[in-house]
Structure 1
C-alpha cells in the first residue's frame, strides 16, 4: 500500500516509521525541517498523570514504545524514566489529585501519594507543598532529537522523506490522492493528515470542519547548573500550572504558569512574550525555590493546535475513503507520539486498531 503522510513532526514521522515497518510504501512530506514545528517547541514531557482518561490506553501504548525507542530507532533520543512528580499546594489540588488517581487506577495508572514529610525526604529542595503525586515510570525525552530520529529510521526502511517541500494542492482521485508539491505531483492510495496546527485546513478541503485554534506555549531554559533534579516536576493547579525538568547537561527547561501566546494564523509563527516571564517564574520558583537567582538564557514558543473539546482528532475521514487524520493534540501530544504513529499504522494497514480511538473520531463535529 502507498501512503503519503503530511506533516513531519513526531506524529507524522513516527507514523511513517511504523507504516514502513509494517511494509507500506511511505512518503513523508513537511513544508519545513523534519520535527521543527510543534515537536521541537515541546517541553519533552513523557507524562500520563492528569491526562484525559480517554487518552490513557493510547498513553500506555506510547509509554511502552518510548521504552523501546533506542532499540527501534538505533539512536538515543534521551528518553529517561526518571518519574513525574506533581506538587500540591492547596486543598483543591489535593482533592483533584485524589479524584484523578481513583479514576485512573482501573485504567492502568497507579499514582503514589506523598505527604509533605515523605516528599521532602525523598525530594529535598522542592517547594513548600502539602503533598504530591508521583508516577515513577514516566519521565522525559529530547524533542529536538526524536522527530528526525523517527524520520531517519523510516528512511532506512525505505520511506521517502521530503523536508522543505511546499504543498500547493491536494485532491482525491479514482486511485486515491494526488498531492501537488514543489517537487512535483505525488500520488498514493492513502493520505494521512498529521499536519498539526494546519491539520484543520487539510480536513476542511474534504468538507470536515474541526473547531481548532492555534496557540503557542511559553517556554524557557536556564543557564547550566549542577545536575540535581531527576524527575519532571509539575503541579496540580486549577489555573496555569508550571512545570520544569533538568536536562543532563544541567540546564533547567520550564514552561506553563501563564496563558499561551497567540499565533499569527497567516504565518503560523509564535513568539514567547517576555512580559509574561516574571509571572511565569514566580510559579517556577514555587516548584523549586533554589532557582530564584538563576539566569534565564532563552525563551521560545511554537504553533500548537487546540481542539475545542481538548481531545485530538484521530482516525478515518467520514467523507473521503483512504483519508486518515491524526492532529490537534492540544499541547499534550509529545508523550502520545509513538503510540499515535503505531496506532495509525495499524488502523491504515489492517483496518482495525487495538487501542480505542472512538473518542477522537472526527465525526463528533459533524452535527
Structure 2
C-alpha cells in the first residue's frame, strides 16, 4: 500500500471541500481532496440551485453575505459563472400566520444588512399577476438568485486543480486515525498522511467526526426535485414559501425546476431515489402558487443525499477532541449558497488560526457536550 503525504487532507468534494482546496492551493498550501464518488455527486450537485440569503437562520447570514460576494466573482475565480443569475428571491405567505413570519424576519434582515422588501397582497398580485389567489403576501430579497449545481462544484474543482490541489475521485476513505502529529486516512490502495484534516463529507461527515470521538445526530436528507417541460418564460424571481414545502424557479429556456417533499436513500451503498407521490404533491403545491403550471409535463425527477442536523444548521469549526481537525457538514438542505465562503473560512482557520465570521453557533460541542 502506497503512502502520500500532504499538508492538508480534505474529505468530501462538495462546494465546501472544493472551495477549501481552491483557497488553500491559491495560498501555496499542498492539499489533497478525497471524494468517495464524483465531484459534486451528492448534495452540492443535485440540489435545487437556489443562491439564497433570505429566510436563513440568523447565525448563517454572515456566512451567506460573505458567500454572495464570492458568487459574484465566480467567473473570475473559476472561468464560469455556473449560470448564476440575480433574479431575486420572493418568499410567499399563504396564511396570516405565514405573513406574520415574513414580517418578523424583516428585523433579522435589518440586523444583518440584508436588503428585503415586504410586499402586501394587492401590490404582490399587481407585480406578479401570474400568482394564484392563495398567495396573500411576499418578501422580496433582490440580491438573491440561482445557479446550476451541475456546473458550480466541478468548476471549483477544476480551478483548485489548476492552482495545484490534488483531487482523487472514486476514493472512499475506510479508516481514520491520528498518528502523533499526522492524520492517517486509508483508502483501498493508499494511505494519506497530513497535518490537517478537513471534514466536508456531507452526511458522511458524521462518521468522520465519530472516528475522532465526536458523535453527532446527523441524519440523511433527500430533497425531492423535478423539472418540467419548457413553457413560455414568465417566472422571473426564485420562489419559496414560508415553511419551505415547495420552491420553484424557471430557467431561461423555459423549464421550471421544482422542489418539495423527500425521496429515499441508503447512504451505505450509496443510492437515492425520488418518490412519485412526493413529486405529485409538490407539483400540486406549485400549481397553487402558479396556476399556469397546471397540466404541464414533468420530464425528470431526482434526489441526492445531504446531511441534516436536528437544529437545521451545520457543524462548522474546530473539533473539540482533536487538534487540527476542522468540520463543515450537516448543511441540512441549504448549503449550496454557503459553500464558497465555508471553504474560504476553513482555509483561514488552517493558515491564520482565525476567521472574522462568528462560528460559535455551529460548534460541534452543542451535540458532543450533550452526549457526554
TM-score (norm 2): 0.94
Q: 1:250 aligns with which of 250, 254, 261?
A: 254
1:196 and 1:276 mapped to 2: Cα distance? Answer: 23
Deviations 1:34-91 (A, max 9, x none): 0111112200101111110111111101111111111111122111111001122210
* 1:161 aligns to 2:167 (yes or no): yes
1:18 and 1:286 mapped to 2: Cα distance? Answer: 43
* 1:174 aligns to 2:180 (yes or no): yes
**1:101–1:110 Cα contact (<8 Å) kept:** no
**1:165–1:183 Cα contact (<8 Å) kept:** no
1:19 and 1:247 mapped to 2: Cα distance? Answer: 33
Name stretches of at least 5 consecutive residues in structure 2 with no aligned partner.
1-5
Spell out the pairing of 1:208-357 with structure 2 (5 A cutoff): 208-237=214-243, 240-256=244-260, 258=261, 260-357=262-359
* 1:124 aligns to 2:129 (yes or no): yes
**Structure 2 counterpart of 1:193:** 199
Tell me which moved more, 294-303 or 14-23: 14-23
**Structure 2 counterpart of 1:142:** 148
2:209 and 2:37 mapped to 1: Cα distance? Answer: 20
**2:272 partner SS:** coil
1:86 and 1:316 mapped to 2: Cα distance? Answer: 34
**Structure 2 counterpart of 1:152:** 158
**Structure 2 counterpart of 1:106:** 111
**Structure 1 counterpart of 2:27:** 22
Tell me which moved more, 205-214 or 227-236: 227-236
1:221 and 1:304 mapped to 2: Cα distance? Answer: 20
1:291 and 1:195 mapped to 2: Cα distance? Answer: 37
**2:183–2:194 Cα contact (<8 Å) kept:** yes
Q: 1:85 aligns with which of 82, 90, 114?
A: 90
**1:180–1:186 Cα contact (<8 Å) kept:** yes
**1:234–1:243 Cα contact (<8 Å) kept:** yes
Aligned residues: 363
Tell me which moved more, 68-77 or 200-209: 68-77
Deviations 1:125-151 (A, max 9, x none): 122222111000000011001111001
RMSD: 1.3
Name stretches of at least 5 consecutive residues in structure 1 with no aligned partner.
none
2:239 and 2:355 mapped to 1: Cα distance? Answer: 33
1:186 and 1:277 mapped to 2: Cα distance? Answer: 42
Which portions of structure 1, spanning 4 or more consecutive aligned residues, are displaced by more than 6 angstroms?
none
TM-score (norm 1): 0.96
Cα distance, 1:228 vs structure 2: 2.0
Q: 2:9 aligns with which of 4, 10, 19?
A: 4
